[in-house]
Amino acid sequence: MIDVLLLLRSRFGSLDRKIGALVPLLAGLLLNGCSTYYGQLLDGQVQLLRAREPVSQVVADPARDARLREQLRQSQAARDFASSHLHLPDNRSYRLYADVKRSSVLWNVFATPEFSLDPQTHCFPIAGCVAYRGYYSLSGARGEAALQKQAGMDVYIGGVDAYSTLGWFDDPIINTMMDRGDERLATLIFHELAHQRFYVQNDTEFNESYATFVEQEGTRQWRAYQGLPPADQDMAKQVHQFTQLVLDTREQLKAIYAQPLAPVAMRQAKQQAFERMRAQYRQLRGSQWGGDKRYDAWVNAPMNNAKLLPFGLYDQWVPSFAALFSQVRGDWPSFFKAVERLGKLPADQRKAALVKLASR
C-alpha cells in the first residue's frame, strides 16, 4: 500500500518539501498504465501529507476542540517515552497531526482462495510483498472486493487506524487513531515506530508480530512509568483466548484443505469449522468472560478464510519475540539487534528460528 510512495520518495528526495513534484509523476504513471490503483495511493498519501500540522500548534490553539488538544498533549509524553525508553526512532513522526475527515485512514482488502489460508499478495519494489491491498476510500475497497469475489476468492475488508511509511515521511497522528482512548493512541505510536525501527521485505507475519510485541511490551512499561497498575489481566486473558480460538480455527481449516475432498464436501467441512469456532466462542463468553459480547458482531457476521488473515499476520510470532526479549533480559537495544539478525536470515531459517523461540 505504501510502496509506490516510498519509490517516489527515493526518486524525488523529501516529498515533505516537494509534494508538487508528485503531480507530473502521477500523470506519467497513469499514462504508462499503472491504473487508478496507484493513482488513488498517490492522491491519498498526498492529501494526508497536506493535512498535517504540528501538534504543538494544535495544542496551543484555544479555538480547537479541548478534548483533542488534551489528547495530543498527552500523546507527546508517550512519543517522548517511545524514543527515550523504548529506543524507537527519534524523529518528527507523531509530532504532527492530520484530520482526514473519515473513520479509517484507509481500508485493506484481504483475499484468499476458497480452500486456502494463503493470502493473495501484492509486491512492490521497496517494501516487498504484503498480504493485502490498501485503498484510501471505502468505495474503492468495496470495488476491489467485488472483483475478487467474482473471481471466486474469499474476501475481507478491514479498516486501518494508522500505518507507517517506514520513516520515509514524517508520519502524523491521525484523527482515526484517537477514538479508543489515550492508551490506545500510545500503543499505536509504539507499533508504527517499531516498523520504522526495522522492517523485512516479503514477511508480513514477521513484521506485524514484531511490532505487536513492541506495542504490548511498550504499553506495559509505559503504564509502569506513569505509576499505573498493570493492565486488567482478565481482559488480556480474554484477548489471548479469542486470538487463540481464531488461530486454532485456521489450523483446523488448513488440515481440511489438505484432504483430497470434493469441492462440495470441502465447502461443508469449512462451514462446520466456522460453526465449531462460534460454539466455542459462546462457551468462552458464558463460562469465562462473564457474558461479555464485545466480539459478537465479528463472530456472528459472515465468515471466510480472508477474515481470519489479520489474526495470523499480527499475532503468530508474538510469543517468539517475547522469548527473544526475555533472552536479552529486557534490554531494548540488544533486542532490536537480535531482531535485525533474525530478519537478515533466509526466510526458511528465519521461520525455523521463530518456531524454536516460541517453543521456549
**What are the tens digits of pLDDT across the range 187-243?**
999 999 999 999 998 898 899 999 999 999 999 999 999 999 988 888 888 988 999
Query: 182 with 159: CB under 8 angstroms?
Result: no
Query: 206 with 316: CB under 8 angstroms?
Result: no
Note the pLDDT of residue 31: 39
User: How many whole angstroms separate alpha carbon 58 and alpha carbon 178?
Assistant: 15
Note the pLDDT of residue 28: 43
**E-only strand ranges, 99-139:** 106-112, 122-124, 128-130, 133-135
* Dihedral sign for Cα atoms in the order 179, 181, 187, 193: positive
Note the pLDDT of residue 9: 44
C-alpha cell at 151: 473471481
C-alpha cell at 131: 498480504
Note the pLDDT of residue 18: 42
Note the pLDDT of residue 201: 87
User: How many whole angstroms separate alpha carbon 87 and alpha carbon 93?
Assistant: 14
* Other residues' Cβ atoms within 10 Å of the Cβ of residue 330: 11
In what helix (H) or strand (E) does residue 320 lie, and over which residues does it extend?
Answer: helix 318-327
Q: Pick from 193, 199, 194, 196: which is nearest to 173 by CA? A: 193
* Other residues' Cβ atoms within 10 Å of the Cβ of residue 21: 14
In what helix (H) or strand (E) does residue 53 lie, and over which residues does it extend?
Answer: strand 53-54
pTM of the entire structure? 0.85
Query: 122 with 67: CB under 8 angstroms?
Result: no
**For the chain, which ranges sit under pLDDT 70?**
1-35, 124-127
User: How many whole angstroms separate alpha carbon 135 and alpha carbon 141?
Assistant: 6
C-alpha cell at 297: 458482531
Q: For 127, list phi and psi in degrees, rounded to 5.
A: -85, -5
Note the pLDDT of residue 22: 43
Query: 152 with 114: CB under 8 angstroms?
Result: yes
